[in-house]
Amino acid sequence: MADPTTTPSRPDAEAPGYEPAAVERKWQARWDANRTNSPDLARGEKPFYQLMMFPYPSAEGLHIGNLYAFTGNDIHGRFQRLQGHTVFEPIGYDAFGIHSENYALKVGVHPSELIPRNIENFRRQLHRAGLMVDWSHELSTTDRSYYKWTQWIFLQLYHRGLAYKKRAAVNWCPSCKTVLANEQVEGGVCERCKTPVEQRQLEQWFFRITDYAPRLLKNLETIDWSETTRTAQRNWIGASQGARVTFRVVDDGDRTDDITVFTTRPDTIFGATYLVLAPEHPLVDAITRPERRAEVQAYRERAARQDIISRKTNREKTGAFTGATAINPATGEAIPVWIADYVLMEYGTGAIMAVPGHDERDFEFARSFELPIVRVVAGAGVEPHAPLEAADVEVAGARVVNSGEFDGLNVEDAKTKIVAWLAGSGAAEPVTTYRLHDWCISRQRYWGPPIPIIYCESCGTVPVPEKDLPVELPYVEDVRPDDSGISPLARHEEWYHVPCPQCGKRARRETDVSDTFLDSAWYFLRYPSSERDDVPFDAALTRKWLPVSSYIGGNEHAVLHLLYSRFVTMVLHDMGHIDFEEPFTRFRAHGLIVKEGAKMSKSRGNVVVPDRYIEQWGADTFRTYLMFLGPFEEGGDFRDAGISGVRRFLDRLWRSATDARRDGEPEVAVLRKLHQTIRKVGDDVPRLSYNTAIAAMMEYMNVLRAGERTPHVAEVQPLVQLVAPFAPHLAEELWEGFGGVGSVFDAGWPSFDPALAAEELLTLAVQVNGKLRGTIQVTRDISQDGALAAALAEPNIAKFVQGAPKKVIFVPGRLLNLVV
């Protein structure tokens, strides 16, 4: 006890109890004053970049889910610091974009006024949570100094040929009045407002993320990420191995056309009895016969008018015959060419070879339009000409039939052999197709970084020169989007009229802003260099601090944010700006917090407001309780009733520390448990098994205070270090009480002695025929024979054993199993 006047040694009396509010205020102020949490980024040794997904500062304030994630992140960061790393734990705000703007529109406050207010509120709440955040590197995506470089990133992609503009069918949300990326459409409705999405033809900016599909897929094998997240990305990228096959359209006089299809089943090509093009396919006009033109045109118009949801949900097969035929390169037969909306222009080549015998959709279509159905694959014991009542999609153990020289091959062999055979005449080539589409980044909205492009009548599309960045977002009074598909920025004439940077003639600015996901696709690069105004990221700092050591966030960003970040990082790598191509070495998705078994929502009225709990229980208790609810990666069930148990634990720790004696010796049995606890907590925290680490500390507490014993300082002090990542304020206060100098987080992690951690006497389970019949106390190094003798000396065990056991299984330190 450093100061006996403030820490009396008697447990009862007027010992100052644990008062979290005072302790937390004191240490938060001291951390700020001493810059405890602002590491020297240039010189700090063993850098560890502990990143959490930055929040978007909603008007409702910090959500419990945010705090759950941040706390779990913070504990890992603090633990790494105790392990001797220089830990950088930054925070920022994802405050540009539709989510923020929609809320501003709803409450009728201009976003430029509302957002700073929300950020201020978030900052206050985050501060109270006791996070080890380096506030000197705080950023917001709305900062001029930030989005200048978001625009710079756009220009990098543009110069690299990875940003392009095209007129395309895009997802249009009639409520948000903007274009959405495919990733923002869920089941045909806008993920944000749940309004059914419409199809519109608009000029949009896209990023060629599809160019990176193979690498985005392949690298998934090398990064240390949650399996669920990698699976989600794998599904989203959606690689399909197959072949492109070319069918020659039967010459109708003056021209020849080739139709290239994509198929994953080239083994079934002998059963391709017709072709189908997407209604939007560019060849449709050219191949359609005059007598069919009217019908085909009508069908195409109907398809174009149809909204995306009904096209994707209405599975009834419709179509129109073009009148054209094409040659199946395998059979040499002429087969009809149809158009149908079940074939999608945006996947593969927008054309398919239909194999009704072995594809359910084709089968249905063939039935509707009375097209021939041929069996070319047969499972074991199935006749080669067995009739087909439905598509036979069986592949395992099936063989190819009615396919000329390929008859009898299994499906896999047939795929390669048939493609090789067709490749000989140039009719086929093996190819991998991806489900992933290019990333549409244009948004016809106000609250975002203007896309840095200028259109000049003489020079065409001109990128804004880097020296002119940022293209500042002007103040526009009325930011409401309208149905025109044109951004509110287009109403600000003085802003969008601009001289061409190349020829100086009258030109106009691009009035779309970029997608929020572009803001968040590179923020981790900005944090260490946030003070630099002349570069997006400092070369030396970036080399030292990136890639991110540990990234923690929600799995709702498994495909959107995480995929875009990887893409942008790869592009910057390829352009030589950075020397790594994966931004996050380790990623773990945290689970979700529910309340009393139910999802939290405003309508249910069961939303946990962090402020209230922190006031009542203290931030340390709240943090520890959140982590105690369940496995961090699985989430937990927040129940008000449970929090008292954690508070009781911290109260007991407080008393143990303030009452601890310095006289006499620590007890060996207690030290043994202590060292087991040090090992357990040290194992559990890095794997985010926080709940079991807390349980282990509680278990130790039960030993430490068993009966009414007064613990020794040597028994308590290391526990204060173990608990520090969870209850940082309390740990600092107690550490100081012990006479510790500086922050407990610079004191390191207690070492554990394996010899001491090992039990001297242990309990061996004794089974007879695998059934537990009793336990025996034995020394650690007991032999099998010794254990056997001890076991048979127990009447309750011996009564199950007549004569010598047939077999004895001895697992040292664990159990003895006698087989009789």
Of 114-122, 165-173, 311-319, 736-744, the segment contacting RNA by CB under 7 A is 311-319
Asked whether the beta carbons of 676 and 668 are under 8 A apart, the reply is no
Q: What is the DSSP letter of 410?
A: B
Task: Verify binding: residue 211, RNA, rule CB under 7 A.
Answer: no
Can you tell me which of 425, 751, 796, 802 binds RNA, judged by CB under 7 A? 796
CA 178 to CA 294: how far, in whole Å? 34
Task: Verify binding: residue 244, RNA, rule CB under 7 A.
Answer: no
3-class SS at 336?
strand
Can you tell me which of 174, 691, 747, 798 binds RNA, judged by CB under 7 A? 691
Which positions from 515 through 574 interact with RNA, judged by CB under 7 A? 555, 558-559
Task: Verify binding: residue 238, RNA, rule CB under 7 A.
Answer: yes
Least Å distance, CB 568 to RNA, is 20
3-class SS at 610?
helix
Can you tell me which of 3, 45, 227, 534 binds RNA, judged by CB under 7 A? 227
Asked whether the beta carbons of 483 and 198 are under 8 A apart, the reply is no
Task: Verify binding: residue 4, RNA, rule CB under 7 A.
Answer: no
Which positions from 29 through 68 interact with RNA, judged by CB under 7 A? none
AA identity, residue 177: K
Can you tell me which of 23, 41, 139, 278 binds RNA, judged by CB under 7 A? 278
Of 458-466, 503-511, 704-712, 724-732, the segment contacting RNA by CB under 7 A is 704-712
Of 306-314, 541-549, 666-674, 730-738, the segment contacting RNA by CB under 7 A is 306-314
Q: Can you name the residues that pair with 594 across neighbouring β-strands? A: 637
Task: Verify binding: residue 595, RNA, rule CB under 7 A.
Answer: no
Decide whether 544 or 687 has the Cβ nearer to RNA: 687
Which positions from 245 through 264 interact with RNA, judged by CB under 7 A? 262-264
Tokens of 209: 């993320």
Asked whether the beta carbons of 751 and 671 are under 8 A apart, the reply is no
CA 561 to CA 459: how far, in whole Å? 35
Can you tell me which of 115, 411, 629, 788 binds RNA, judged by CB under 7 A? 629
Task: Verify binding: residue 763, RNA, rule CB under 7 A.
Answer: yes
Asked whether the beta carbons of 253 and 316 are under 8 A apart, the reply is no
Q: Which residues contact 343 (CB under 8 A, 6 or more apart)?
A: 276, 277, 278, 350, 351, 352
Task: Verify binding: residue 235, RNA, rule CB under 7 A.
Answer: yes
Cis peptide before 547 (omega within 30 of 0): yes
Tokens of 239: 């690689």
Least Å distance, CB 363 to RNA, is 11
Which positions from 408 through 437 interact with RNA, judged by CB under 7 A? 433, 435
Task: Verify binding: residue 398, RNA, rule CB under 7 A.
Answer: no
Can you tell me which of 110, 127, 248, 652 binds RNA, judged by CB under 7 A? 652
CA 84 to CA 795: how far, in whole Å? 54
Q: Which strands, in side-by-side order, build the sheet including 86-88?
A: 86-88, 47-52, 550-554, 586-590, 224-225
Decide whether 187 or 742 has the Cβ nearer to RNA: 187
Q: Taking CA 607 as the corner, what is the angle to CA 601 and CA 609, rounded to the nearest 5 degrees?
A: 145
Q: Which residues contact 755 (CB under 8 A, 6 or more apart)?
A: none
Task: Verify binding: residue 228, RNA, rule CB under 7 A.
Answer: yes
Of 22-30, 36-44, 116-124, 758-766, the segment contacting RNA by CB under 7 A is 758-766
Can you tell me which of 252, 333, 394, 651 binds RNA, judged by CB under 7 A? 651
**Host H or E run for residue 230:** helix 227-237
Task: Verify binding: residue 205, RNA, rule CB under 7 A.
Answer: no
Least Å distance, CB 160 to RNA, is 26
Asked whether the beta carbons of 75 and 725 are under 8 A apart, the reply is yes
Decide whether 56 or 365 has the Cβ nearer to RNA: 365
**Host H or E run for residue 675:** helix 668-684
Of 70-78, 137-145, 329-337, 690-698, the segment contacting RNA by CB under 7 A is 690-698
Cα dist from 768 to 320, 764, 782, 790, whole Å: 75, 13, 19, 14
Decide whether 459 or 809 has the Cβ nearer to RNA: 809
Decide whether 747 or 815 has the Cβ nearer to RNA: 815
Decide whether 664 or 707 has the Cβ nearer to RNA: 707
Decide whether 462 or 765 has the Cβ nearer to RNA: 765
Which positions from 313 through 352 interact with RNA, judged by CB under 7 A? 314-318, 341-350, 352
Which positions from 708 through 747 interact with RNA, judged by CB under 7 A? 708
Task: Verify binding: residue 771, RNA, rule CB under 7 A.
Answer: yes
Place of tokens 């959490």: 52
Asked whether the beta carbons of 78 and 124 are under 8 A apart, the reply is no
Asked whether the beta carbons of 46 and 642 are under 8 A apart, the reply is no
